[in-house]
Amino acid sequence: MIKAPRVELGDGEVMEHAVILVEDGEIVTMGQDLPVERGIPVIELEEGQVVMPGLVNPYSRYGMSGGGYNDSRPQVMASAELYPSAAYKVFLENGVTTVGQYPAGQGIPGQAVAVRPKGETAGAMIVEDSAYLKVVMRNSSSAKRNLRDGFKKADDHLKKVAKEREKFDKAQAKAKADKKKSKAVFVPPAADPRIQPFFDLREGKLRALVSIRNAASYAHLVDAVGEEDFEWHLRVPLTRDIDVFHVTEEVGERGCFVLMEPLITLVPGTLRQRNLPAEFERAGAKLVLLPRTDSKAGFESFLEDVGVMIGAGLDRKAAVRAITHNPASFMGLGERLGSLSEGKRANLLIFSGDPFQPDTKLDAVMLDGKFVSGDMDQ
């Protein structure tokens, strides 16, 4: 049981004088000024300390190695690359309790996996496989072809199956006419493994994360998607100056998740600053903030960087959502983690003060009800 003077819930709201009861790695009860039963060990936090949900970084390759290809390989699973290593300790040390790891490469490199950065085996680390399909979109015919052809091949396969089915039915009818009893069961022709992800996209079993480079690639993405109806979100790297502000309105109207770094960028070719994360958030997009670089240094300065963005006009509540609840629900884990309420995993961080202040220390990290980092004794 934790008694905390101040808890960031992850959805942007704050609960004061909260009591959190953790059992079996899960938050069992949570509320304001709840009576504390005797016999349960209580961690009483000091005034000024803040509890926050564990950070969720849905887009990282830290701890993985190797490169990828330039074509369409949507069947590739990042989980196949996964192995427990010391690298994952870095996530925990910096308060990241859930990580989305994606396969390397351009084109359509494959499917990401959501992991908890602790476990003896890769299997124990996996929280959810097929978290999303990574797609790289550029203003080039090859990038558009990757996407279009994927769905086209899926259509072709359906046609092929329908044809086989017809043949089979005919054969059955003939067998019946000949009064032969046949127990044949229709076996559809095997699909190319590269096709299945596109069926999954259509059926809503899989979501796509499309990495764009500029406003033009967004326009080409919309063109390439055309009438196809599937869930897609955007990865917009702000590591260099980018002109995506041209499409802020359209993206906001879609209301999709937008993954960005907490960086102030310049309008290309000028010295005009723009706070793109804040602009997209205001326009209606669901903001997800990522460390500035996918490295230890990036993780270490992450909360401070987010704090800078808040100072530059990003809504504070939105900023909290953008590093906890939003990335979790982007990966389809919003019901399980990313915020603090009854029934959620007990992934939480204890800070010495406001998490976004540079002098604040991360006192402890709890993953599934156990302290895994920091100097807090249970």
Partner 1 sequence: MHLRTNQQRRASRPTWLLMAASLFLAPTAFGVVSIDDEPAKEAGTEDEEDKEEILALVGGEIHTGLGGVLRDATILVRDGKIEAFGYDVDVPEEAEVVDVSGMRVYPGLIAVGSFGLFGSSGSLDDSVDPYNQNMTLALAAGITTAVEGNTVAKLKRGHVDGLVVNSAAFESMSYSNGNPQGQLKVEADLKGAADYIRAYRAWEQEKKSNKEAKEPSKKGVDQKSLRVLRGEVRPRFNADTRTDLLEIARLAQRFGFRPIINGCREGWTVADELGRAGATAIVTPRARRPKDESLLREGGSSIENASILYEHGVNVVVVPASRGISLGGIVGQDLLHLPVEAGFAIRGGLPELAGLRSITIEAARVLGVDYRIGSIELGKDADLIVTDGDLLHYQTFVQWAIVDGEIVYDKQAEMFFAHIRPRPETALAPAEKMDSGEEAPADAPEADPEGDSEGDSEGGDDEKPVTDEASGDGGGEEPESSEETAGESGD
Task: Give the interface with partner 1 as residue ranges (CB under 8 A).
Answer: 139-141, 144, 204, 207, 214-216, 219-220, 222-223, 226-227, 229, 231, 243, 245-246, 248-250, 253-257, 264, 267-270, 272-275, 278-279, 282-283, 286, 310-316, 329-330, 332, 334
When the beta carbons of 280 and 299 are compared against partner 1, the nearer one is 280
What tokens does 81 get?
């690359």
When the beta carbons of 254 and 292 are compared against partner 1, the nearer one is 254
When the beta carbons of 311 and 343 are compared against partner 1, the nearer one is 311
When the beta carbons of 201 and 366 are compared against partner 1, the nearer one is 201
The CA distance from 157 to 166, in Å, is 14
Smallest distance, partner 1 to C-beta of residue 11, A: 13
When the beta carbons of 35 and 269 are compared against partner 1, the nearer one is 269
* Residue 103 near residue 133 (C-beta atoms within 8 A): no
Q: What is the DSSP string of 236-278?
A: ---SS---GGGGHHHHHHHT-EEEE-S--EE-TTS--EE-HHH
When the beta carbons of 333 and 366 are compared against partner 1, the nearer one is 333
Q: What 3-state DSSP class applies to 223?
A: helix
Smallest distance, partner 1 to C-beta of residue 136, A: 15
When the beta carbons of 273 and 341 are compared against partner 1, the nearer one is 273
Smallest distance, partner 1 to C-beta of residue 91, A: 25
The CA distance from 237 to 260, in Å, is 6
Smallest distance, partner 1 to C-beta of residue 257, A: 7
Q: CA separation (Å) from 183 to 172, 173, 190, 248, 270? A: 9, 12, 20, 58, 73
Structure-derived torsion over alpha carbons of residues 307, 309, 313, 318, reported in degrees to the nearest 10: -70
Smallest distance, partner 1 to C-beta of residue 273, A: 5
Residue with tokens 């494959």: 110
* Residue 370 near residue 56 (C-beta atoms within 8 A): no
What tokens does 282 get?
């205001």
CB-based contacts of 1, cutoff 8 Å, min separation 6: 19, 20, 21, 22, 36, 40, 41, 42, 43
Residue with tokens 């390759």: 61
